[in-house]
Amino acid sequence: MSETTTSTASSDGHPTGASVATPYVKGAGTGEALLEVKNLIKHFPVKSSGVLRRVVGQVQAVDDISFTVNRGQSLGLVGESGCGKSTTGRLLTKLYEPTSGQMIFEGEDLTPLSGKQMLPYRAKVQMIFQDPYSSLNPRHTVGSIVGTPLRVHNVVKKDQYLTRVQEILELVGLNPEHYNRYPSEFSGGQRQRIGIARALALQPKLMVADEPVSALDVSIQAQVINLMQDLQREFNIAFLFIAHDLAIVRHFCPDVAVMYLGKIVEIGPRETIYKEPHHPYTQALLSAVPEVGQAKLGGRRERIRLEGDVPSPINPPSGCRFRTRCWKAQDICAQQEPPLLQISPGHSAACHFAAPLGQERTTPITAERALV
Helices (H), the chain: 85-92, 115-122, 142-152, 161-171, 188-200, 218-235, 246-252, 270-275, 280-287, 292-297, 331-335, 365-371
pLDDT confidence bin for 229, thresholds 50/70/90: very high
Judge contact between 169 and 186, C-beta under 8 A.
no
258 — phi, psi (to 5°)?
-110, 125
**287 and 212 in a common domain:** no
Instruction: Judge residue 295's burial from the number of C-beta atoms within 10 Å of its C-beta, 0-12 exposed, 13-18 middle, 19 or more buried.
Output: exposed
> Domain check: are 246 and 299 in the same one?
no
Query: Each residue of 182-198: pLDDT tens digit?
Result: 999 999 899 999 999 99
Whether residues 132 and 193 fall in one domain? yes
pLDDT in tens, 96-125: 999 999 999 999 999 999 888 998 898 999
Query: Long-range contacts of range 324-330, CB-CB < 8 Å, 24 or more positions apart?
Result: 325/281, 326/280, 326/281, 327/280, 328/280, 328/353, 328/360, 330/364
Residue 130, number of CB atoms within 10 A of its CB: 20
Residue 297 placed within a domain: yes
The single-letter DSSP state of residue 131 is -
**246, 313: one domain:** no
Burial of 122 (0-12, 13-18, 19+ CB in 10 A): middle
In a domain, 341, yes or no: yes
pTM: 0.84
Residues 121 and 235 both lie in one domain? yes
CB atoms within 10 A of CB 28: 8
**Domain match, 184 and 304 both:** no
CA atoms within 13 A on the CB side of 14: 13
In a domain, 314, yes or no: yes
Domain end residue (candidates: 236, 253, 270)? 253
Residues 249 and 296 in one domain: no
Q: Beta strand pairing status for 238-242 and 255-260?
A: unpaired
Least confident of 24-28, 206-210, 304-308, 362-366: 24-28
Report the C-alpha dihedral over residues 226, 7, 30, 255, rounded to 10 degrees: -30
Higher pLDDT, 368 or 240: 240
β 263-269/347-349 pair status: antiparallel
| pLDDT over 90 at 293, yes or no | no
Report the CATH number that the domain containing residue 198 is assigned in CATH: 3.40.50.300
Per the CB < 8 A criterion, the answer to whether 169 and 179 are in contact is yes
Same domain, 186 and 328: no
Measured in whole angstroms, the distance separating CA 270 from the mean position of its chain's CA atoms is 15
Residue where a domain terminates, one of 196, 218, 253: 253
Q: Looking at the domain assignment, is residue 291 inside a domain?
A: yes
% of the chain exceeding 70 in pLDDT = 87
End-to-end Cα separation, the chain, in angstroms: 54
Pair 290, 177 in one domain: no
Is 222 found in the same domain as 86?
A: yes
226 lies in the same domain as 309: no
pLDDT tens readout for residues 9-23: 333 433 333 333 333
Report the distance separating Cα 177 and Cα 162, nearest Å.
Answer: 10
> According to the model, what pLDDT value does residue 52 have?
82
* Residue 195 falls inside a structural domain: yes
Q: Is residue 5 situated within a structural domain? A: no
Cα–Cα distance, 10 to 157 (Å, whole number)? 17
Per residue in 158-185, pLDDT (tens digit) is: 888 899 999 999 989 899 999 999 999 9
The count of domains in the chain is: 2
Domain that holds residue 315: 278-371
For residue 302, is pLDDT > 70? yes
Determine the Cα–Cα distance for residues 116 and 93; give it in Å rounded to an integer.
14
Q: Identify whether 25 is part of a domain.
A: no
Last residue of a domain, one of 238, 253, 268: 253
The tens digit of pLDDT for each residue in 133-167 reads: 899 999 999 999 999 999 999 888 888 889 999 99
> 297 and 239, same structural domain?
no
**Is the residue at 18 inside a domain?**
no
